[in-house]
Amino acid sequence: MGGKPLWSGRFSEGMDPDTLGFTTSIGVDRWLAFHDAMGSIAHAKMLGECGIIPAGDAEAIVGGLREIAKEIMDGAFEPGDEVEDIHSAIEVALTERIGPVGGKLHTARSRNDQVATDLKMYATDAVLDVMSSLVELIAALTEKASEHAGDVMPGFTHLQHAQPVTLGHHLMAHAFRLESDLNMFMSMMPMLSVCPLGSAALAGTTFPIDREMTSDALGFVEPSQNSMHAVADRDFVLEALHRMSMTMLHLSSLSEELVLWSSPEFGFVEIADAYSTGSSIMPQKKNPDIAELIRGRSGAVAGNMLSMTMTVKGLPLTYNRDMQEDKKPLLESFSVTVGCLEMAAAMISTCEFDVERMKSVSEDGFLNATDLADYLVTKGVPFREAHGIVGAIVRECIERKCRIEDLPLDALRKHSESIGKDVFDILPVEKCVERRNSFGGTSPESVRAQIEYMESSVELGRAYVDDAVSEREALWEALLG
C-alpha cells in the first residue's frame, strides 16, 4: 500500500520521503482504523440511499469496506508507514480491492470531517472504558471500606494527627472523589454526541447529503449545526484530557498514601506481593513501585492536557495541520488512565491494613483534644474558652509525657471546674468516632450509610456503561452487515 498521496493531481513533483515521514500521522491514527471504517460505511450507505452515487457502487464500496473492517478487527490490516494517514490508507486499500469505483467514497466529505468524527467515536468508546475502570476502583474501595467501617485510625491535616477517623471513612473519601470523576465523564457524553461527518472540509457540500442518517448510524445524537465549528472543534479532546488529569491527580493522591502508609514509619498497610517489587541489591526490600508509577504517570497526563491546550491556542478557523497533534496526547492519556485505574483497583482489593497499629497510633498525639473541648461546650463553656483550656491541658500532657486520659481527674479539674468524672467516657478514640455521627461524619454508622449510597452508585455506573457498550456494539454489527 502507499503510492501517491490522495491529493497529488495539483503537484508536478512528488513529496520528499522526509516530508512524508515528517507529516504522516499513521503512527498514531492507525488506532482509529476501526472507527474510520465504520464512518466510511455509514457515509457510503448514505451516498447510495440519497442517490448521490449509484446504489450498485455504494454496495460495492460497503462490501469492500466491510472486508477491510473485518481485517482491522482481526489485526490483519497493515497500513504500512508510507501513507499519510489512516483515512488515506483505507481509501487506497478500498480502491486496490474494488477498483476505481472506490474513489466515489470521498464524495461530499473530507478528511477534516473524518478525523473529527473518528476521534469523537474513539473518545466515546474510550471514555466508556475509563468509566468502567473507575466504577471497578470505586467498588474495590467501597468493599474495603465495608470491611473497615469501624476501625479507628488517625485523621490528618497537614499530615499531622488531627482527629480520629474510621478507616472506612478515609477509604470512602477516595471513593467519593472518584465518583465525582465518574459523573464528570458521564457529563461529557452530550459534547461527544454531535456528529461532524458531512461538514465536507469546512463549508458544507453541494450534494444533497442526509447528515441525520450518518449521525444516527454512527451513534451520535445529532449532526453538527455549523460545518466550520465542526471541523475545528477539539474541545472534546481538551475536556477528556482535563477530566483524565483530574482522575490521575486523585489516583496520585491515593498512591502517595499507599507509599507513605506502607513505610515502616507508618506501618498501616501491606501491599500484596503481586503488586510490589524488590531490589536488585537489598534482599530485604519490598517496594511500592506500582503506586509510585501511578503517581509518576499522573504527570504525563497533566502534561498532555497542557500540550494540547498549547497546540490549539490561537489557531484560526478552521482545520489546521497543528490539530493532527491531538491524537498522541489523547490516545496515550486514555491508555495510561485506564491502566492506572486497573492497577489501583487490584492493589486496593488485595492490600491488608494493620488495624491494630492504626488504632494504637491514633491514641497518641491528642487526637481527642477536640472532643474534650466539645465536652466542655456541653457543660456550658463557650467553645473559644474551651479551646484555650484544652490547649493548656495538652501542654501539661506534653510536659508530663502522657495522654489526656492518663491525667487524674483532679489534675484536669485544675484547668476547669466544669470537667467531671464522665469526661473519661468521651475520651477513648472509639468513642470519638462513634459520636461523630453528623451527616457525612466519620462514625461507623455514617460510613455504612455512605457505603450503601456508593453501592447503588456502582450498580448504576455499571448498568450505564453496559447499556452504552451494547448499544455501540449493535451499531457496529449493523454497519458490518
Q: What is the largest CA-CA distance in the chain?
A: 101
What mask of x and - would describe binding to ligand ARG in positions 285 to 324, judged by CB under 6 A? ----------------------------------x-x-xx
- Evaluated on CA atoms 340, 341, 346, 350, the torsion sign reads positive
Which residue, 294 or 323, is less far from ligand ARG as judged by CB? 323
Which residue, 112 or 215, is less far from ligand ARG as judged by CB? 112
Non-local CB neighbours of 53 within 8 Å, separated by 6+ positions: 44, 47, 61, 104, 107
Helix (H), strand (E), coil (C) string for 242-275? HHHHHHHHHHHHHHHHHHHHCCCCCCCEECCHHH
Backbone dihedral angles phi then psi of residue 131, each to the nearest 5 degrees: -60, -40
Report the site for ligand ARG in 392-451 (rule: CB under 6 A): none
H/E segment holding residue 43? helix 33-49
Non-local CB neighbours of 271 within 8 Å, separated by 6+ positions: 258, 262, 286, 288, 290, 291, 347, 350, 351
Report the site for ligand ARG in 100-139 (rule: CB under 6 A): 111-112, 115
Q: 312-317: long-range contacts (C-beta < 8 A, 24 or more apart)?
A: 312/234, 312/238, 315/232, 317/202, 317/228, 317/229, 317/232
Report the site for ligand ARG in 13-32 (rule: CB under 6 A): 25, 29
| Cα 169 to the center of its chain, rounded Å | 22
* Site size with ligand ARG, rule: CB under 6 A: 10
One of 158, 280, 438, 456 is an active-site residue; which one? 158
Which residue, 188 or 232, is less far from ligand ARG as judged by CB? 232
CA–CA separation, 361 vs 260, rounded Å? 15
The SS3 call for residue 402 is: coil
The SS3 call for residue 194 is: strand
Which residue, 113 or 371, is less far from ligand ARG as judged by CB? 113
Write down the least CB distance from residue 199 to ligand ARG, Å.
Answer: 12
The SS3 call for residue 304 is: helix
Which residue, 8 or 263, is less far from ligand ARG as judged by CB? 8
The SS3 call for residue 63 is: helix
Write down the least CB distance from residue 26 to ligand ARG, Å.
Answer: 8
Contact between 85 and ligand ARG per CB under 6 A = yes
Which residue, 109 or 169, is less far from ligand ARG as judged by CB? 109
Which residue, 85 or 181, is less far from ligand ARG as judged by CB? 85
**For residue 413, how many other CB atoms are within 10 A of its CB?**
15
Write down the least CB distance from residue 213 to ligand ARG, Å.
Answer: 23
Which residue, 204 or 391, is less far from ligand ARG as judged by CB? 204
CA–CA separation, 170 vs 173, rounded Å? 5
Non-local CB neighbours of 332 within 8 Å, separated by 6+ positions: 300, 304
Write down the least CB distance from residue 209 to ligand ARG, Å.
Answer: 19
Q: Residue holding cell 477534516?
A: 112
One of 180, 187, 263, 279 is an active-site residue; which one? 279
Q: Residue holding cell 452504552?
A: 468
Q: What is the dihedral of CA 24, 27, 31, 36, to 10 degrees?
A: 20
What mask of x and - would describe binding to ligand ARG in positions 211 to 250, judged by CB under 6 A? ----------------------------------------
Whether 158 sits among the annotated catalytic residues: the reply is yes
Catalytic site residues?
158, 279
Residues near ligand ARG (CB under 6 A) are 25, 29, 85, 111-112, 115, 319, 321, 323-324
